[in-house]
Structure 1
Amino acid sequence: MFDVHVHAAPDVLARIGHDDQIGAAYARAGYSGFVLKAHHESTVGRASALSRSSGLDVVGGITLNRAVGGINPAAVLSALSTGGRVVWFPTADAHTQESAGLPRLGDLDERLDRSVLSVPPVLAADSASAENAAFVLDLIAEHDAVLCTGHLSGAECRWLLEQAEARGIDRFLLTHPSYTVPGMEPGEIAELAARGAHVEITAYQLFHQHGMTPARLAAVARAAGSRLVLASDAGQPDSPEPPAALEQLIAALTAEGLDPGWLRDASGDTPRKLVLP
């Protein structure tokens, strides 16, 4: 088993455990490794240290929110050059996050403005930010890293896939596309999966997404087909420990009639091959 999406302390938000505690939980559960994600800082150094101490394949990356300079090629180059494997486009600072009223760093201090991030077609293609996005995409291609779409809109996810195709980026993951943001439907997800996008479903959706059901997640899984990736997106104090969260997601989807062997591949071999070089 290999979890491509987990959160740990220290973090802006409360977490169920620190890096070493989360790593110990995965080791007890027999996982080969996981991807450590944070919304507001690079996790590359933390993941490297934990990998050395735990013997697990712990992978880090960077999320392109305002705390790292937004869609910032310098931050991406630094993260990928020091062993990072994953680049998430904006999450907490995406324009969709603000529109949906979901948590943002600015919630902690009203002195921080509420500016948001986007890519084309929401963002003007001739802007400096669009040029930075293109530079970031070039860096992902050059380092054979994983491009994750973050919390951007469906139209922006489609644009990112087009740009990935043009650059030969094969490691492309739609970040929980059926979550509140971007809120994509199974038909659209199936179309992008047919073009080579991997599709993430998370246990967080099962526990915390308003209106989400196992049946709806099963429909997304069927749309993803062989490109399905299951992840926990856990680490919240009101979620189970991440390995247990992922097991509960697998059990819920199995109860919807999905093949358990396929689901195990989607939480093991498929994500591991997607992330590791």
Structure 2
Amino acid sequence: MFGKNAGQDRKREKQARDLLRGAVDFHIHSAPDVYPRILDDIEIARRAKRAGMAGVVLKSHLTITADRAQIAGRMVGLPVFGGVALNWQVGGLNPWAVECAAKLGACQVWMPTIHAANSLKHLNRLPVFAKSMPMGVKGISIFRKDGGCVPELEPVLAGIAEQGMILGTGHLSPEEGLALIAEAKKAGIKKIVVTHPMARFVRYSLEQMRDALSRGASYLEFVLNDCSPRVGEPIPLEEFAAAIRAIGPARIILATDSGQVDNPPPVQMMAEYVGRLLELGLPARAIRTMTATNPARILDL
């Protein structure tokens, strides 16, 4: 699976499996969902526990996942976290959705994802969403026409700050994401994660990633789905590894963004790509930092 030398392959495969112990997959899409998913909440948690992982975060583009995450966690005996993405199904930039999610134990609030104005501009890169997107759906932006932030943003950020939740930038453009981080810091939000900045439909430059961190983002979330053949233009893993080296593992969370039926199941996907990153020369300690230390820290595990 990892190369031509069978002995090295087995060693690397074992090392990849060992690195799953204590890891947290910070970004998984699970069933039940409107979109096809490979596993349900409970089976994802079971497989993660079997692999020795320390926890998982369940994400939906359409509904709050905090309540069902609690059920899966209790069923399996593993920390399972959920949150809410501020798409139209929950009212967009809706402070009541934030409040409800918080009361249900949400760990993270994502800015709009599939309904972000930036995301709708790139539907050609997101065929699954393009097929099911209603005609005429209005994209959500945090910017007014004059370049300032929309008034709806302020109470949303206030709610996230009050509850001590993580703010994820969702599918906002890099320009919106950078402005959001500045506003979030003003609002008193302490935990900010830039959601898959390597994704083709978001695509921060290295300079913008560094800018995000300098403005107060806690971590950049690098997701392995961006390198998967299932996406229209997968990022070469060599480019992915180069970005990790350029930024440094101390400020990166490595997650899968898996759960799609045409990707491997989350645990398998994490193991396969960790093995390939090892093959590209990334040190095991760097991978451990990104898959275990950093997500555990922001989740207070």
Q: Distance in 2 between matches of 1:76 and 1:171?
A: 15
Match of 1:35 among 57, 75, 100: 57
Give structure 2 stretches of 5+ with no counterpart.
Answer: 1-22
What is the letter of the counterpart of residue 165 of structure 2? A
Identity %: 33
2:81 is the alignment partner of 1:70: no
Match for residue 288 of structure 2?
Answer: 264
Give structure 1 stretches of 5+ with no counterpart.
Answer: none
Segment of structure 1 superposing worse, 83-92 or 99-108: 99-108
The superposition leaves residues 124-181 of structure 1 with CA deviations (integer Å, 9 ceiling, x where unpaired) of: 537xxx2221111111111111000001100000011101221332211010101012
Q: Distance in 2 between matches of 1:8 and 1:17?
A: 6
Instruction: Note if contact 2:227-2:234 (Cα within 8 Å) is conserved in structure 1.
Output: no
Cα separation, partners in 2 of 1:6 and 1:81, compared to 1, 3 Å: same
2:102 is the alignment partner of 1:80: yes
What is the letter of the counterpart of residue 224 of structure 1? I
Q: Distance in 1 between matches of 2:112 and 2:40?
A: 24
Match for residue 125 of structure 1?
Answer: 148
Query: Which of structures 1 and 2 has the bigger CA Rg?
Result: 2
Q: Distance in 1 between matches of 2:93 and 2:130?
A: 18
Cα separation, partners in 2 of 1:222 and 1:65, compared to 1, 3 Å: same
Q: Distance in 2 between matches of 1:121 and 1:218?
A: 36
Instruction: Note if contact 2:115-2:140 (Cα within 8 Å) is conserved in structure 1.
Output: yes
What is the letter of the counterpart of residue 223 of structure 2? T
Tell me by how many angstroms 1:34 deviates.
0.7
2:247 is the alignment partner of 1:224: yes
Q: Distance in 2 between matches of 1:257 and 1:170?
A: 33
2:225 is the alignment partner of 1:204: yes
Tell me by how many angstroms 1:103 deviates.
4.8
Instruction: Note if contact 1:87-1:140 (Cα within 8 Å) is conserved in structure 2.
Output: yes
Instruction: Note if contact 2:226-2:234 (Cα within 8 Å) is conserved in structure 1.
Output: no
The superposition leaves residues 197-252 of structure 1 with CA deviations (integer Å, 9 ceiling, x where unpaired) of: 21111111111341411121112212432111000110011111101211222222
Cα separation, partners in 2 of 1:45 and 1:167, compared to 1, 3 Å: same
TM-score (norm 1): 0.92
Tell me by how many angstroms 1:121 deviates.
6.0
Q: Secondary structure at the match of 2:35?
A: coil
Cα separation, partners in 2 of 1:123 and 1:227, compared to 1, 3 Å: farther
Q: Distance in 1 between matches of 2:42 and 2:88?
A: 27
Q: Distance in 2 between matches of 1:186 and 1:122?
A: 27
Cα separation, partners in 2 of 1:122 and 1:222, compared to 1, 3 Å: farther
Tell me by how many angstroms 1:104 deviates.
7.2
Match of 1:240 among 264, 282, 289: 264
Segment of structure 1 superposing worse, 171-180 or 250-259: 250-259
Tell me by how many angstroms 1:63 deviates.
0.3
Match for residue 166 of structure 1?
Answer: 186
Cα separation, partners in 2 of 1:251 and 1:186, compared to 1, 3 Å: farther
2:195 is the alignment partner of 1:175: yes
Q: Secondary structure at the match of 2:176?
A: helix
Q: Distance in 1 between matches of 2:275 and 2:146?
A: 40
What is the letter of the counterpart of residue 243 of structure 1? V
Q: Distance in 2 between matches of 1:216 and 1:106?
A: 27
Q: How many residues align?
A: 273
Q: Distance in 1 between matches of 2:247 and 2:113?
A: 22
Match for residue 44 of structure 2?
Answer: 22
Cα separation, partners in 2 of 1:16 and 1:211, compared to 1, 3 Å: closer
TM-score (norm 2): 0.85
The superposition leaves residues 86-136 of structure 1 with CA deviations (integer Å, 9 ceiling, x where unpaired) of: 0000110011221111257674375x532110102668537xxx2221111
Match for residue 153 of structure 1?
Answer: 173
Instruction: Note if contact 1:106-1:114 (Cα within 8 Å) is conserved in structure 2.
Output: no
